[in-house]
Amino acid sequence: MLNSDIGLRDLVDNQKSIFYLLGQEDKDDLQHHISLSQYKKNEFIYKEGDKPNGFLVLIDGKVKIFKEGVGGREQIIRMTKPLGLIGYRALLAEETHNGSAVTLEESLVCTIDPDFIFERALKNPDFSFKIISKLSKELGFSNARTVTLTQKHIRGRLAESLILLKDKYGFENDGTTLKAFLSREDIANLSNMTTSNAIRTLSTFANEKVIAIDGRKIRILDTTRLERISKLG
């Protein structure tokens, strides 16, 4: 069961949230400009071509943002964790969404009135800068991923994707199991390869004792070697 009360407190009290930078009066006013939506696993939050209807923040759960390519094949562009912003580029650019957002598990999303965001951005330079900083970091990430997905070999691409999941979501309590249970198809779409190639490469990594596989659970046994494979490409 998702806890909306804890999530909404995090929205303003967590230093990783952009709304932490607002003054107390604006934080109190924020609650009058939000709505909460709960999504089941594999449910669309928005689709490519949709018009943004607000400033979206993931409160709980996991979300993938992907773009549909040739023949309907998905390419996962980004993964989001709690307090992550979703689809705000399109809102700020006054464009339709150029990708789709789908939940990877049961998720809770907060929609904030765009006027509230724009008004606070105009009067709070720190808040504005935080939004610009997030956009800039995402642009840098996208540039780096473009090189990875077009120049690295299959092993390097898949190794980098596993490291990305580790850095984004972390481990379970055992310290080795990724806290993200993706389908083989999603892992393939994250790594720009076919599902069959993803399955084969995961099996190879398992045979080499770099990882261990139990259904959708993946344990990273040798982080150093996985990082080396990713770096060598």
* Residue given tokens 């990713």 in the structure block: 230
pLDDT tens digits for range 18-61:
999 999 999 999 989 999 999 999 999 999 999 999 999 999 99
CA atoms of 10 and 96, how far apart (whole Å)? 29
Residues 100 and 128 in one domain: yes
Instruction: Using the 3D structure, point to which of 115, 148, 181 is the last residue of a domain.
Output: 148
- pTM listed for this prediction: 0.88
Measured CA to CA, the distance from residue 9 to residue 229 in angstroms comes to 40
- What CATH number is given to the structural domain containing 184? 1.10.10.10
Mean pLDDT computed over 202-213 = 97
Number of H helices, E strands in the chain: 9, 10
Domain boundary, last residue among 94, 128, 148: 148
> 187: domain range?
152-232
Per-residue tokens: 226: 């996985």
Question: Tens digits of per-residue pLDDT, 66-124?
Answer: 998 877 788 999 999 999 999 999 999 999 999 999 999 999 999 999 999 999 999 99
pLDDT at 172: 95
| Same domain as 118, residue 35 | yes
